[in-house]
Chains A and B, each alone.
Chain A
Amino acid sequence: MSDEILAMRGITKRFAGVTALHEVTLTVRRGEIHAICGENGAGKSTLMKVLSGVHPHGSYEGDIVFNGEPCEFHGIRDSERKGIVIIHQELALCGQLSVAENLFLGNERARRGFIDWNRTNHDAQALLDRVGLRENPTTPVNDLGVGKQQLVEIAKALSKEVSLLILDEPTAALNDDDSQHLLDLLDGLRDQGITSVIISHKLNEVTRIADTVTVLRDGKTIETLPADGLSEERIIAGMVGRDLEHRFPPRTPDIGDEVLRVEDWTVHSPAQPDRVIVDNATLSIRRGEIVGLAGLMGAGRTELAMSVFGRSYGTNISGRVLKNGVVINTRTVQEAIRHGLAYVSEDRKRYGLNLIEGVQRNVSAAALRKLATRGWVNENEEFSVAERFRRSMGIRTPAVSTQVGTLSGGNQQKVVLAKWMFTDPDVLILDEPTRGIDVGAKYEIYSIINDLAAQGRAVLVISSELPELLGLCDRIYALSEGRITGEVPRAEATQELLMQYMTRGQGS
């Protein structure tokens, strides 16, 4: 057998006149971890869909050679039979079913049509051991965190006797601990002879784990580089086609008086009312200030933000919210908006946008009454508002009537930001504002955040990426197990220091 497990040559794929892939070449060596990097829309996911048969043979041009033989896949089943398994960004697990049932879904351990539960659970346990997941196979998947669910997906792939594992943004939703574990696992699988292809925006992980990096841009292969000694800046240069010396736009802070103060804020879990999620937290934000909130997944960052914003999360909430020194009522979302609060969710598709409506109607959604007289909306005024934001924020859309669901992640995020800017808030809470957004669009989002602060608004940024907080914020709070464990001004902040605070009190 040759050294190459996979060769894709001259792959061209068109969608209704748009060329998504143009003569793309990808060569993966046996037993390596091969990273594919590129901005959103560069064609990474399309390439993987061609490989796994989601786009069947005949709908693209070019050849796929796997294990030395040319392949013509007509669906996922064809590619899986050859040992190619793809794990998508959105996990495909049935939450109500047990871990074991999920592992063998469509591939049941059965005898004459009836499930053999002993063999199912026994085989499941063996797979869980292989991925280092210490859970009972009969546990419902819903009871596991995202990190563990990701491991279940990988175990499921292993059950199919995989020889090439494709992971699309495997760590996008994971905290640092879980990411670490996942990357270690991939390392381990490599030693067992399993080849992996990972698509990732997290370049620090790419440089850490990958043996080879292929960079795509605008549907073309730009370069394939050995990862040894490769810097993040070098990869970014290939991805954006320009030297992105400054990942963060420059800004001169102009900070005023305190605008928002949250005091002694305590929140309990709605599912388990005796469990404390946010524990006596106190924080404040000033005019024109960008404040960061750092914390590992499960530290209670989103829960803190959403409970302040109209009690959208949690039960048995206590504490005070003050604006300009006066206690305000934020018990409902309407009250919170009336007091000038805005919350941009980490999950824009679920909590931020009406994907089947156009840009125009999404932008106006949180402040429709501003466009209405006696309950009647002025659609022309609405149009010009949407046009104004489209231009000022650089939302790339064919028209403001275009369905938001068809836009790229970065442009969707701009629509959500525009929606909240139209409410003219004094305080913006931005939860993971650049999740799943490519490097170029991130820079634009950072510029928008800087503009918001320059207009005298107070901004709270929640992020899993510490470099992002360090590059953006004037002051950073660290949250651990629901408690504020540290507050660091920009000048003193380092990743190491924040990580210390973020892990303080854990396990004790």
Chain B
Amino acid sequence: MTINLRQSGIYVAFALIVVLFAFLTDGALLQPQNISNIIVQNSYVLILAIGMILVIIGGHIDLSVGSTVALTGAICAVLTVHWGLPWPIAVLLTLIAGAIIGAAQGYWIAYFGIPAFIVTLAGMLVFRALTLTTLGNQGIGPFPDEIRSLSNGFTGGYLGNIGLGPLGGADLVSLLAGVACIAGFALSQWRKRAARLGYGQTVDPMPVFVLKIVGAGVVVLAVVVQLARFRNLPWVLVLLAALALGYSLMASNSVFGRHIYSIGGNLQAATLSGVKVKAVTFWVFVNMGALAALAGVIFAGRLNQAGPTAGTAFELDAIAAAFIGGAAVQGGVGKVVGAITGGLIMGVINNGMSLIGAPSERVMLVKGLVLLAAVAYDVWTKRRA
């Protein structure tokens, strides 16, 4: 029971925070446009959090991601605005640049044995400096429309709207996508359950199983309906959903993902079990760099300009998201979905408090205390177990 409590605590906390702010803002938090805003405004932190949770599971940390966001945003700006490259090629090259940044840091960490804290602290300074050099100390913009719509845009209303009675009109494509998601989720869970039963493993009893799927379905559907009533699905949400799904599967079911957990759990045991510890660590940082580049493109596209101060303190938000989401400082523990939930908790606090007109210093205060409380709760449940 304690293990369950520890794992599900974060989701319960998220639900409570949402309910609290929905109440405090007289429902403004859950208005269609606001839900859309929360997703779009936090998308880059959530993307960073996905990479960061893997780094932290591996027992490391990355302080350079904020600077990497700035540098890759600048690179993308130069490629599109100055060089006039087509946007898909520019984005691809930017992602490769991010991977190279990650590889450079990963080399020192994995193969040279310098603690990640030091390497990425150096990277934080170096890449910020390179950003200023690349930009020539001024912002570059505007970006091509395609990149801007990746950050800010919405899927088209290809099939028109349908009426939802008192809720008014809503985009049919968005609704269908939402229903397809839920159906896919239910089907995969069902098949997983059937396979587990086939192997004689214990599974949730049928009522609990159904309740979980219905619960998840209701939440997803509610969000999708609100979005469909506003301006359809944000493109960045589609991207995030794909990343969340892909990385969750990778972390829990791939050999590579499992090796990250084993390295974070016990480095020496992993080494003596034949895990290629250095290579795995290296690739975790390459991946972090590439995801930071993706966040860099989206952030620059959102502001429609690559600026020298872009991404400042993003690393702290990403790290906080991972720890609120249940990662352990020693490594070896954590989930991609947890990190995303952690990021959303901070996003909802940010958004909710600004809706009720709280000054920014109070928002910072609350976020700090929430981070402390989340980790304290984790330590407390671990001690009780």
Identify the A interface with B (CB < 8 A). 309-310, 312, 333-334, 336-337, 343, 345, 350-357, 361, 365-366, 368-369, 372, 375-377, 379-381, 383-384, 387, 399, 419
Residues of B within 8 A of A333 (CB): 271-274
Please report the C-alpha to C-alpha distance between residue A376 and residue B333 in the assembled complex, in whole angstroms.
Answer: 20
Min distance, Cβ A60 to any Cβ of chain B, angstroms: 19
Residue of A nearest to B333 (CB): A356
How many angstroms from the CA of A312 to the CA of B198 in the assembled complex? 41
Residues of the B chain whose Cβ atoms lie less than 8 Å from the Cβ of A381: 199
User: Could you say which residues of chain B place their CB within 8 Å of the CB of A375?
Assistant: 254-256
User: Which chain A residue has the least Cβ–Cβ distance from B330?
Assistant: A356
Which residue from chain A places its CB closest to the CB of B195 in the assembled complex?
Answer: A380
Q: Is B261 an interface residue (CB 8 A)?
A: yes
Question: When the two chains form their complex, are residues B332 and A354 in contact, meaning their CB atoms are under 8 A apart?
Answer: yes
Cβ 8 A contact of B201, one of A309, A353, A383: A383
- Top 9 A-B residue pairs of the complex, sorted by shortest distance between their CB atoms: A354-B265, A366-B273, A337-B274, A380-B199, A354-B266, A333-B274, A365-B273, A334-B274, A351-B268
Which A residues touch B265, using CB under 8 A?
A: 354-357
Q: Inside 8 A of B198's CB, which chain A residues have their CB?
A: 380
Assuming the contacts A350-B269, A351-B269, asked whether A372 and B255 have C-beta atoms less than 8 A apart, the reply is yes
A334 CB contact (under 8 Å) in B259, B268, B276: B276
Q: How far is the CB of A500 from chain B (nearest CB, A)?
A: 34
* Residue B253 lies at the interface, judged by CB distance under 8 Å to chain A: yes
Q: Assess whether B254 is in contact with A356, with CB atoms less than 8 Å apart.
A: no
Q: Which residues of B contact A383 (CB under 8 A)?
A: 196, 199, 201
Also in contact, A353 and B266, with CB within 8 A (given A377-B258, A380-B198, A419-B273): yes
Q: How far is the CB of A337 from chain B (nearest CB, A)?
A: 4
Query: Which of A350, A357, A377 sits near B332, CB closer than 8 Å?
Result: A357
How many A-B residue pairs have C-beta atoms within 8 angstroms? Tell me: 83
Instruction: Report the separation of the CA atoms of residues A361 and B261 in the bound assembly, to the nearest whole angstrom.
Output: 10
Complex: A169 Cα to B103 Cα, angstroms? 47
* B253 and A379 form a contact (CB under 8 A): yes
Closest to A345 in B: B272
Q: Is the CB of A365 within 8 A of B201?
A: no
16 A-B pairs besides A351-B272, A377-B258 with CB distance below 8 A are A312-B271, A333-B271, A333-B272, A343-B272, A353-B269, A354-B265, A354-B269, A357-B332, A365-B270, A368-B255, A377-B255, A380-B198, A380-B199, A380-B201, A383-B196, A383-B199
Could you tell me if B199 and A384 are in contact, using CB atoms closer than 8 angstroms? yes
Write out the residue numbers on chain B whose beta carbons fall within 8 Å of the beta carbon of A377: 253-255, 258
User: Is the beta-carbon distance between B262 and A365 smaller than 8 angstroms?
Assistant: yes
When distances are taken between beta carbons in the complex, the residues of chain A under 8 Å from B259 are: 368
Bound-state Cα–Cα, A249 to B254, Å: 41
Contact bitstring B243-265, A, C-beta under 8 A = 1, else 0 = 00000000001111011011001
Bitwise interface map of B from 193 to 205 toward A, beta carbon under 8 Å scored 1, else 0: 0011011111000
User: What's the minimum C-beta distance from A407 to chain B, rounded to whole angstroms?
Assistant: 14
Across-interface contacts of A369 in B (CB, < 8 A): 255
Residues of A within 8 A of B253 (CB): 376-377, 379
Which residues of A have CB within 8 Å of B273? 333, 365-366, 419
Could you tell me the distance between the alpha carbons of A336 and B200 in the complex, rounded to whole angstroms? 35
Contact with A366, one of B200, B274, B328 (Cβ below 8 angstroms)? B274
Tell whether, in the assembled complex, residue B255 and residue A354 are in contact, meaning their CB atoms are under 8 Å apart: no
Residue of A nearest to B196 (CB): A380
Can you offer 27 A-B residue contacts whose CB atoms are under 8 A?
A310-B274, A333-B272, A343-B272, A350-B269, A351-B268, A351-B269, A354-B261, A354-B266, A356-B265, A357-B332, A361-B258, A361-B262, A365-B262, A365-B269, A365-B270, A368-B255, A368-B258, A369-B255, A372-B254, A375-B254, A380-B196, A380-B198, A381-B199, A383-B196, A383-B201, A387-B200, A399-B202
Residue contact A356 to B272, C-beta cutoff 8 Å? no
Q: Considering the chains assembled together, what is the distance between the CA atoms of A353 and B370 in angstroms?
A: 33
A372-B255, A380-B201, A384-B199 given; A354·B271 CB < 8 A: no
Q: Is the CB of B272 within 8 A of A354?
A: no
The residues of B that contact A419 with a CB separation of less than 8 Å are 273
Q: Which residues of chain B are near A384, meaning CB under 8 Å?
A: 199-200
Residues in A neighbouring B254, C-beta threshold 8 A: 372, 375-377
Residues in chain B near residue A309, CB distance under 8 A: 272
CB atoms of A350 and B268 under 8 A apart = yes
CB closest residue in chain A, given B259 = A368
CA distance A381 to B266 in the complex (A): 24
Min distance, Cβ B29 to any Cβ of chain A, angstroms: 37
Chain B residues near A380: list those with CB within 8 A: 195-196, 198-199, 201
The B58-98 residues at the A interface (CB cut-off 8 A) are none
Docked complex Cα distance between A366 and B332 (Å): 17
Closest to B276 in A: A334
Which chain B residue shows the least CB distance to A372? B255
| Closest chain B residue to A416, Cβ basis | B269
Which of B195, B273, B274 has most A Cβ within 10 Å?
A: B273
The smallest beta-carbon distance between B326 and chain A, in angstroms, is 13
Do B261 and A357 touch across chains, with their CB atoms under 8 A apart? yes
A468 and B269 alpha carbons, distance in the complex (Å): 26
Q: Do A354 and B201 have beta carbons less than 8 Å apart?
A: no
From 286 to 302 in chain B, residues with beta carbon under 8 angstroms from any chain A beta carbon are: none
| Most A-side CB within 10 Å, residue of B202, B265, B269, B332 | B269
**In the complex, what residues of B have CB within 8 A of residue A336's CB?**
274
Complex contacts, B271 vs chain A, CB 8 Å: 312, 333
- Distance A276 CA – B253 CA, assembled complex (angstroms): 44
A294 CB to nearest B CB, Å: 23
Closest chain B residue to A365 by CB distance? B273
B327 CB → nearest A CB, Å: 12
Question: Given the complex of chains A and B, what is the CA–CA distance between A356 and B267 in angstroms?
Answer: 12
Q: B69: shortest Cβ distance to chain A, in Å?
A: 29
In angstroms, Cα B254 to Cα A247, docked, is: 44
The distance from the CB of B291 to the nearest CB of chain A, in whole angstroms, is 19
| Min CB gap A404→B, angstroms | 10
CA distance A361 to B196 in the complex (A): 16
CB distance from B298 to the nearest CB of A (A): 28
**Please, how many angstroms separate the alpha-carbon atoms of A357 and B270 in the complex?**
12
Nearest A residue to B272 by beta-carbon distance? A351
CB neighbours (8 Å) of B272 from chain A are 309-310, 312, 333, 343, 345, 351-352
A388 CB to nearest B CB, Å: 11
What is the bound-complex CA distance between A377 and B252, given in angstroms?
9
Q: Which residue of B lies closest to A353 (CB)?
A: B269
Complex Cα distance A336/B268, Å? 16
> CB-nearest residue of chain B relative to A337?
B274
B333 to chain A, nearest CB (A): 6
Inter-chain contacts of A376 with B (CB < 8 A): 253-255
- Chain B residue nearest to A343 (CB atoms) is B272
Tell me whether B258 and A355 are in contact (CB under 8 A).
no
User: Which A residues are in CB contact (< 8 Å) with B256?
Assistant: 375
Output the least CB separation between A376 and chain B (Å).
6
- State which residues 40-56 of B face A: CB under 8 Å: none
Chain A residues near B332: list those with CB within 8 A: 354, 356-357
Q: Which of A354, A366, A419 has the most CB of B within 10 A?
A: A354
Chain B residues near A337: list those with CB within 8 A.
274
Q: How far is the CA of A312 from the CA of B261 in the complex (A)?
A: 21
User: Separation in Å of the A399 CB from the closest CB of chain B?
Assistant: 8
Residues of B within 8 A of A345 (CB): 272
- The contact string, 1 if C-beta is below 8 Å from chain A, for chain B 213-256, is 00000000000000000000000000000000000000001111
Docked complex Cα distance between A368 and B255 (Å): 7
Determine whether the beta carbon of B274 is less than 8 Å from that of A354: no
Taking the closest CB of chain A, its distance from the CB of B183, in whole angstroms, is 23
For the complex, what is the distance from the CA of A125 to the CA of B200, rounded to whole Å? Answer: 64
Q: CB-CB contacts of B321-338 with A at 8 A, as 1s and 0s?
A: 000000010001100000
B146 CB → nearest A CB, Å: 32
Q: In the complex the two chains form, what is the Cα distance from A379 to B254 in whole Å?
A: 10
A residues near B202, Cβ cutoff 8 Å: 399
- Closest chain-A Cβ to B287's Cβ sits at a distance in Å of 14
